[in-house]
Amino acid sequence: MKPTYRSFFGLQKEPFGSDLPIEEILLTTELGDVRERFDYVLRIGGIGLLTGEIGSGKSTALRYAAGKLHPAEYYSLYVTATTGSILELYRQILTELGIEQCSSSKAMLTRLIRQGILELVEGKKMKTALIIDEASLLRMEVFCELHTICQFDKDSKPYLPLILAGQGSLIDKLCYKSSAPLASRIICRAHLQGLDKEGMAQYLLHHLRLAGVKKPLFDESATTAIHQGSGGLLRKANHLARGALMAAAAEKCATVSAEHVRIAATEVF
Protein backbone atom coordinates (compact mmCIF):
# COMPACT_ATOMS: atom_id res chain seq x y z
CA MET A 1 0.00 0.00 0.00
CA LYS A 2 2.98 2.31 -0.55
CA PRO A 3 2.40 5.45 -2.61
CA THR A 4 5.18 4.42 -5.07
CA TYR A 5 2.49 3.70 -7.68
CA ARG A 6 1.99 7.45 -7.92
CA SER A 7 5.53 8.09 -9.15
CA PHE A 8 5.33 5.01 -11.40
CA PHE A 9 2.28 6.44 -13.24
CA GLY A 10 3.22 10.13 -12.80
CA LEU A 11 0.16 10.86 -10.65
CA GLN A 12 0.49 14.25 -8.95
CA LYS A 13 -1.86 13.33 -6.09
CA GLU A 14 -3.82 10.37 -4.74
CA PRO A 15 -6.31 9.59 -7.51
CA PHE A 16 -10.01 8.80 -7.05
CA GLY A 17 -10.35 10.93 -3.94
CA SER A 18 -13.58 11.96 -2.23
CA ASP A 19 -12.55 15.56 -1.50
CA LEU A 20 -13.29 17.02 -4.90
CA PRO A 21 -13.90 20.77 -5.02
CA ILE A 22 -17.21 21.63 -6.73
CA GLU A 23 -15.51 22.60 -10.00
CA GLU A 24 -13.80 19.17 -10.24
CA ILE A 25 -17.02 17.15 -9.92
CA LEU A 26 -17.79 15.38 -13.21
CA LEU A 27 -20.96 16.88 -14.66
CA THR A 28 -22.91 13.78 -15.72
CA THR A 29 -26.44 13.89 -17.16
CA GLU A 30 -27.75 12.51 -13.86
CA LEU A 31 -26.01 15.27 -11.93
CA GLY A 32 -27.58 17.86 -14.23
CA ASP A 33 -30.99 16.27 -13.60
CA VAL A 34 -30.48 16.43 -9.83
CA ARG A 35 -29.49 20.08 -9.99
CA GLU A 36 -32.52 20.94 -12.12
CA ARG A 37 -34.86 19.32 -9.57
CA PHE A 38 -32.97 20.86 -6.66
CA ASP A 39 -33.41 24.34 -8.15
CA TYR A 40 -37.09 23.63 -8.89
CA VAL A 41 -37.75 22.69 -5.25
CA LEU A 42 -36.04 25.86 -4.06
CA ARG A 43 -38.01 27.98 -6.51
CA ILE A 44 -41.44 26.50 -5.80
CA GLY A 45 -41.03 25.40 -2.20
CA GLY A 46 -42.05 21.88 -1.23
CA ILE A 47 -39.99 18.74 -0.96
CA GLY A 48 -37.60 16.98 -3.35
CA LEU A 49 -36.33 13.43 -3.08
CA LEU A 50 -32.97 12.01 -4.13
CA THR A 51 -32.40 8.29 -3.87
CA GLY A 52 -29.68 5.94 -5.05
CA GLU A 53 -27.59 2.92 -4.18
CA ILE A 54 -24.76 3.13 -1.67
CA GLY A 55 -21.89 5.09 -3.21
CA SER A 56 -23.85 6.17 -6.29
CA GLY A 57 -22.98 9.85 -5.78
CA LYS A 58 -25.93 11.26 -3.80
CA SER A 59 -23.93 13.36 -1.32
CA THR A 60 -21.67 14.60 -4.10
CA ALA A 61 -24.73 15.60 -6.15
CA LEU A 62 -26.16 17.48 -3.15
CA ARG A 63 -22.83 19.20 -2.58
CA TYR A 64 -22.72 20.16 -6.26
CA ALA A 65 -26.28 21.53 -6.36
CA ALA A 66 -25.93 23.37 -3.04
CA GLY A 67 -22.48 24.65 -4.02
CA LYS A 68 -23.97 26.33 -7.08
CA LEU A 69 -26.29 28.48 -4.94
CA HIS A 70 -25.19 32.06 -4.46
CA PRO A 71 -24.12 32.45 -0.81
CA ALA A 72 -25.47 35.99 -0.64
CA GLU A 73 -28.91 34.77 -1.74
CA TYR A 74 -29.22 31.33 -0.16
CA TYR A 75 -28.69 29.96 3.32
CA SER A 76 -28.61 26.19 3.11
CA LEU A 77 -28.82 23.96 6.14
CA TYR A 78 -27.12 20.60 5.59
CA VAL A 79 -27.89 17.86 8.07
CA THR A 80 -26.74 14.24 8.04
CA ALA A 81 -29.60 12.25 9.55
CA THR A 82 -29.18 9.73 12.34
CA THR A 83 -31.40 7.02 13.76
CA GLY A 84 -32.01 9.28 16.77
CA SER A 85 -35.24 10.94 17.83
CA ILE A 86 -36.86 13.91 16.12
CA LEU A 87 -35.52 16.08 18.95
CA GLU A 88 -32.00 15.23 17.84
CA LEU A 89 -32.85 16.17 14.27
CA TYR A 90 -34.30 19.48 15.43
CA ARG A 91 -31.14 20.18 17.43
CA GLN A 92 -29.01 19.42 14.35
CA ILE A 93 -31.09 21.90 12.32
CA LEU A 94 -30.71 24.50 15.04
CA THR A 95 -26.94 24.00 15.06
CA GLU A 96 -26.96 24.73 11.32
CA LEU A 97 -28.83 27.94 12.15
CA GLY A 98 -26.09 28.81 14.63
CA ILE A 99 -28.30 28.12 17.67
CA GLU A 100 -27.11 25.62 20.29
CA GLN A 101 -30.05 24.31 22.28
CA CYS A 102 -30.34 21.24 24.51
CA SER A 103 -34.03 21.59 25.42
CA SER A 104 -36.14 18.41 25.27
CA SER A 105 -39.30 20.32 24.42
CA LYS A 106 -40.43 19.70 20.86
CA ALA A 107 -42.55 22.86 20.96
CA MET A 108 -39.55 24.94 22.05
CA LEU A 109 -37.23 23.48 19.40
CA THR A 110 -39.72 23.92 16.55
CA ARG A 111 -40.42 27.47 17.69
CA LEU A 112 -36.70 28.26 17.60
CA ILE A 113 -36.31 26.72 14.13
CA ARG A 114 -39.26 28.76 12.88
CA GLN A 115 -37.87 31.95 14.39
CA GLY A 116 -34.47 31.27 12.83
CA ILE A 117 -35.98 30.72 9.39
CA LEU A 118 -38.25 33.78 9.65
CA GLU A 119 -35.27 35.89 10.65
CA LEU A 120 -33.42 34.72 7.52
CA VAL A 121 -36.34 35.02 5.10
CA GLU A 122 -38.20 38.08 6.34
CA GLY A 123 -35.39 39.79 8.25
CA LYS A 124 -32.37 39.20 6.02
CA LYS A 125 -34.34 38.63 2.78
CA MET A 126 -32.54 35.36 2.09
CA LYS A 127 -33.85 32.09 0.69
CA THR A 128 -33.34 28.90 2.64
CA ALA A 129 -33.02 25.19 1.91
CA LEU A 130 -32.95 22.31 4.35
CA ILE A 131 -30.99 19.34 3.01
CA ILE A 132 -31.25 16.08 4.94
CA ASP A 133 -28.75 13.49 3.72
CA GLU A 134 -28.99 9.83 4.82
CA ALA A 135 -32.71 10.46 5.40
CA SER A 136 -33.39 6.73 5.00
CA LEU A 137 -31.99 6.40 8.54
CA LEU A 138 -34.72 8.57 10.06
CA ARG A 139 -37.24 6.84 12.31
CA MET A 140 -40.84 6.44 11.18
CA GLU A 141 -41.96 8.82 13.93
CA VAL A 142 -39.81 11.52 12.31
CA PHE A 143 -41.48 11.01 8.93
CA CYS A 144 -44.89 11.50 10.60
CA GLU A 145 -44.23 15.07 11.63
CA LEU A 146 -41.22 16.41 9.73
CA HIS A 147 -43.50 18.38 7.38
CA THR A 148 -44.60 20.60 10.27
CA ILE A 149 -41.31 22.51 10.45
CA CYS A 150 -41.80 23.56 6.82
CA GLN A 151 -45.13 25.25 7.61
CA PHE A 152 -45.17 29.01 7.90
CA ASP A 153 -48.16 31.34 8.14
CA LYS A 154 -50.70 28.50 8.34
CA ASP A 155 -48.87 26.46 5.72
CA SER A 156 -49.20 29.18 3.08
CA LYS A 157 -45.57 30.31 2.79
CA PRO A 158 -42.93 27.91 1.42
CA TYR A 159 -40.09 29.43 3.41
CA LEU A 160 -38.22 26.19 4.02
CA PRO A 161 -37.87 23.94 0.96
CA LEU A 162 -36.66 20.48 1.92
CA ILE A 163 -34.45 17.99 0.08
CA LEU A 164 -34.42 14.43 1.38
CA ALA A 165 -31.66 12.11 0.18
CA GLY A 166 -30.99 8.49 0.99
CA GLN A 167 -31.12 4.89 -0.09
CA GLY A 168 -34.13 3.25 -1.71
CA SER A 169 -35.63 2.34 1.67
CA LEU A 170 -36.50 6.03 1.97
CA ILE A 171 -39.25 5.44 -0.60
CA ASP A 172 -40.59 2.49 1.45
CA LYS A 173 -40.78 4.68 4.54
CA LEU A 174 -42.58 7.43 2.61
CA CYS A 175 -45.18 4.93 1.37
CA TYR A 176 -46.48 4.31 4.90
CA LYS A 177 -49.82 5.96 5.62
CA SER A 178 -48.32 7.83 8.57
CA SER A 179 -45.81 9.48 6.21
CA ALA A 180 -48.54 10.69 3.82
CA PRO A 181 -48.52 14.36 4.95
CA LEU A 182 -44.78 14.52 4.22
CA ALA A 183 -44.99 12.46 1.00
CA SER A 184 -47.86 14.59 -0.35
CA ARG A 185 -45.53 17.61 -0.35
CA ILE A 186 -42.93 15.95 -2.59
CA ILE A 187 -42.88 17.71 -5.96
CA CYS A 188 -40.06 15.85 -7.72
CA ARG A 189 -37.62 13.03 -7.34
CA ALA A 190 -34.43 11.73 -8.87
CA HIS A 191 -32.78 8.34 -8.58
CA LEU A 192 -29.05 7.85 -9.17
CA GLN A 193 -28.21 4.60 -10.88
CA GLY A 194 -24.80 3.17 -11.54
CA LEU A 195 -22.97 4.51 -14.61
CA ASP A 196 -23.09 2.55 -17.84
CA LYS A 197 -19.84 1.33 -19.37
CA GLU A 198 -19.29 4.41 -21.50
CA GLY A 199 -19.98 6.62 -18.49
CA MET A 200 -17.52 4.60 -16.42
CA ALA A 201 -14.78 5.02 -19.06
CA GLN A 202 -15.30 8.80 -18.92
CA TYR A 203 -15.39 8.74 -15.13
CA LEU A 204 -12.04 6.92 -14.92
CA LEU A 205 -10.44 9.33 -17.40
CA HIS A 206 -11.83 12.29 -15.48
CA HIS A 207 -10.27 11.18 -12.19
CA LEU A 208 -6.94 10.40 -13.87
CA ARG A 209 -6.91 13.87 -15.41
CA LEU A 210 -7.58 15.41 -11.99
CA ALA A 211 -4.48 13.58 -10.76
CA GLY A 212 -2.47 15.03 -13.66
CA VAL A 213 -2.43 12.05 -16.08
CA LYS A 214 -3.91 12.64 -19.53
CA LYS A 215 -3.46 9.20 -21.14
CA PRO A 216 -5.88 6.36 -20.42
CA LEU A 217 -4.10 3.98 -18.04
CA PHE A 218 -6.95 1.42 -17.96
CA ASP A 219 -7.24 -0.86 -20.97
CA GLU A 220 -10.63 -1.95 -22.32
CA SER A 221 -10.68 -5.11 -20.18
CA ALA A 222 -9.87 -3.15 -17.00
CA THR A 223 -12.65 -0.64 -17.68
CA THR A 224 -15.11 -3.51 -18.21
CA ALA A 225 -13.93 -5.21 -15.02
CA ILE A 226 -14.27 -2.00 -12.97
CA HIS A 227 -17.69 -1.37 -14.45
CA GLN A 228 -18.90 -4.89 -13.75
CA GLY A 229 -17.21 -5.17 -10.36
CA SER A 230 -18.70 -1.89 -9.13
CA GLY A 231 -22.10 -2.20 -10.79
CA GLY A 232 -21.37 1.33 -12.04
CA LEU A 233 -21.32 2.63 -8.45
CA LEU A 234 -18.72 5.30 -7.98
CA ARG A 235 -17.22 4.70 -4.55
CA LYS A 236 -16.57 1.05 -5.35
CA ALA A 237 -15.22 2.04 -8.78
CA ASN A 238 -12.80 4.42 -7.01
CA HIS A 239 -11.49 1.65 -4.76
CA LEU A 240 -11.15 -0.85 -7.61
CA ALA A 241 -9.44 1.65 -9.89
CA ARG A 242 -6.94 2.79 -7.24
CA GLY A 243 -6.22 -0.78 -6.16
CA ALA A 244 -5.75 -1.88 -9.77
CA LEU A 245 -3.26 0.96 -10.36
CA MET A 246 -1.25 -0.29 -7.37
CA ALA A 247 -1.35 -3.89 -8.60
CA ALA A 248 -0.19 -2.84 -12.07
CA ALA A 249 2.62 -0.68 -10.66
CA ALA A 250 3.79 -3.60 -8.48
CA GLU A 251 4.19 -5.64 -11.70
CA LYS A 252 5.76 -2.68 -13.53
CA CYS A 253 2.94 -2.75 -16.12
CA ALA A 254 2.35 0.61 -17.79
CA THR A 255 -1.28 -0.35 -18.58
CA VAL A 256 -3.85 -1.62 -16.11
CA SER A 257 -5.66 -4.83 -17.15
CA ALA A 258 -8.65 -6.82 -15.87
CA GLU A 259 -6.25 -9.05 -13.94
CA HIS A 260 -5.10 -6.04 -11.88
CA VAL A 261 -8.72 -5.16 -11.17
CA ARG A 262 -9.29 -8.76 -10.04
CA ILE A 263 -6.39 -8.43 -7.58
CA ALA A 264 -7.82 -5.15 -6.28
CA ALA A 265 -11.26 -6.75 -5.87
CA THR A 266 -9.90 -9.19 -3.27
CA GLU A 267 -9.31 -6.25 -0.91
CA VAL A 268 -12.62 -4.38 -1.09
CA PHE A 269 -16.29 -5.06 -0.46
Ligand X SMILES: Nc1ncnc2c1ncn2[C@@H]1O[C@H](COP(=O)(O)OP(=O)(O)OP(=O)(O)O)[C@@H](O)[C@H]1O
Please, what is the minimum distance in Å from the beta carbon of residue 103 to ligand X?
Answer: 30
DSSP state of 190: E
Task: Confirm or reject binding of residue 18 to ligand X (CB under 6 A).
Answer: yes
Q: Of the listed pieces 18-26, 33-41, 211-219, 251-259, which binds ligand X according to CB under 6 A?
A: 18-26
**Which amino acid is located at 200 in the chain?**
M
Task: Out of 25, 250, 253, 263, name the contact with ligand X by CB under 6 A.
Answer: 25
Task: Out of 52, 194, 199, 243, name the contact with ligand X by CB under 6 A.
Answer: 52
Q: How many Å apart are CA 47 and CA 187, to the nearest integer?
A: 6
Q: Smaller CB distance to Mg ion: residue 59 or 110?
A: 59
Q: Smaller CB distance to ligand X: residue 182 or 205?
A: 205
Centre a 10 Å sphere on the Cβ of residue 54 and count the other Cβ atoms it contains: 10
Q: Of the listed pieces 51-59, 80-88, 236-244, 248-256, which binds Mg ion according to CB under 5 A?
A: 51-59
Please, what is the minimum distance in Å from the beta carbon of residue 129 to Mg ion?
Answer: 17
Which secondary-structure segment (H or E) carries 156? none
Task: Confirm or reject binding of residue 136 to ligand X (CB under 6 A).
Answer: no
Task: Confirm or reject binding of residue 57 to ligand X (CB under 6 A).
Answer: yes
User: What contacts 32, CB < 8 A, 6 or more positions away?
Assistant: none
Task: Confirm or reject binding of residue 59 to Mg ion (CB under 5 A).
Answer: yes
Q: Smaller CB distance to ligand X: residue 230 or 257?
A: 230
Region of 228 (left: φ > 0; alpha: ψ -120 to 50; beta: rest) is alpha
- Select the binding partner of residue 60 from Mg ion, ligand X, none (C-beta < 5 to 8 A, by kind): ligand X
SS3 140: helix
Q: Smaller CB distance to ligand X: residue 182 or 200?
A: 200
Task: Confirm or reject binding of residue 60 to ligand X (CB under 6 A).
Answer: yes
Q: Of the listed pieces 10-18, 50-58, 105-113, 179-187, which binds Mg ion according to CB under 5 A?
A: 50-58
Which secondary-structure segment (H or E) carries 148? none
SS3 content of the chain, % helix, strand, coil (to 5): 50, 15, 35
Q: How many Å apart are CA 126 and CA 71, to the nearest integer?
A: 9
Task: Confirm or reject binding of residue 51 to Mg ion (CB under 5 A).
Answer: no
- Select the binding partner of residue 11 from ligand X, Mg ion, none (C-beta < 5 to 8 A, by kind): none
b/e for 206-232, b at 16 or more Cβ within 10 A?
ebbebbebeeebbbeebbbbbbebbeb
User: What contacts 242, CB < 8 A, 6 or more positions away?
Assistant: 14, 15, 16, 264
Task: Confirm or reject binding of residue 56 to ligand X (CB under 6 A).
Answer: yes
186 - beta bridge partners? 47
Question: Scanning residues 205 to 264, which ones bind ligand X (CB under 6 A)?
Answer: 234-235, 238
Task: Confirm or reject binding of residue 65 to ligand X (CB under 6 A).
Answer: no
For residues 204 and 236, the answer to whether their CB atoms sit within 8 Å is no
- Chain residues binding ligand X by CB under 6 A are 18, 20, 25-26, 28, 31, 52, 54-60, 234-235, 238
